[in-house]
Amino acid sequence: MSWAKIVRPEDERRVIHGAGDEYSIMATGEDTDGHYFFVEAVVPPGGGPPPHIQTREEEGFYVTQGELVFRAAGRRVVATPGTFIHVPRGVAHSFKNESDEVARLVFFFVPAGIEEMFEKMAADPDRFVEIAGEYGVEFVDAA
């Protein structure tokens, strides 16, 4: 990588739909020499992924609009704009928009690589659980 990647609001982005949410890809492992994957998400009321564990990546979330309920390691946090949450690998977690308004957040995975899972799930949503397993993601009953 010889130049910094710059993404502005007016730039066209790759958008993926999954788990009822809209994911706008900001930077992939290809852009960051494999260091991280960075995404902006639009989460409608009722949206958010089911409880799961990442066995390969750490994850960080920063809420920019609305309200999301995060659950991680048995804790519940109502996250409003300006809230940052770090989830180490191996920790069960989820987030859900329990409000009546759209929420937005940015999040990253370290290291990169899991972005391929998002692409595959968007192309074949019926294989959601199977594809996730290929990337070390395990779904659990509760976070």
In degrees, rounded to 5, the angle at the alpha carbon of residue 85 between the alpha carbons of residues 80 and 90 is 140
Query: Are the CB atoms for 56 and 135 separated by under 8 Å?
Result: yes
pLDDT value, residue 3: 63
Q: Using CA atoms, how far apart are residues 67 and 87, in angstroms rounded to an integer? A: 18
Say if domain 14-137 classifies as CATH 2.60.120.10. Answer: yes
Query: What kind and span of H or E run contains 3?
Result: none
Per-domain residue ranges for the chain? 14-137
The shares of helix, strand and coil residues in the chain, as percent rounded to the nearest 5, are: 15, 40, 45
Would you say the C-alpha torsion 5, 9, 11, 14 has a positive or negative sign?
positive
Write down the pTM of the prediction: 0.90
pLDDT value, residue 60: 98
* Sequential pLDDT tens for the chain (143 residues): 556 777 777 777 888 887 789 999 999 998 899 999 999 999 999 999 999 999 999 999 999 999 999 999 889 999 999 999 999 999 999 999 999 999 999 999 999 999 999 889 888 888 989 999 999 999 999 87
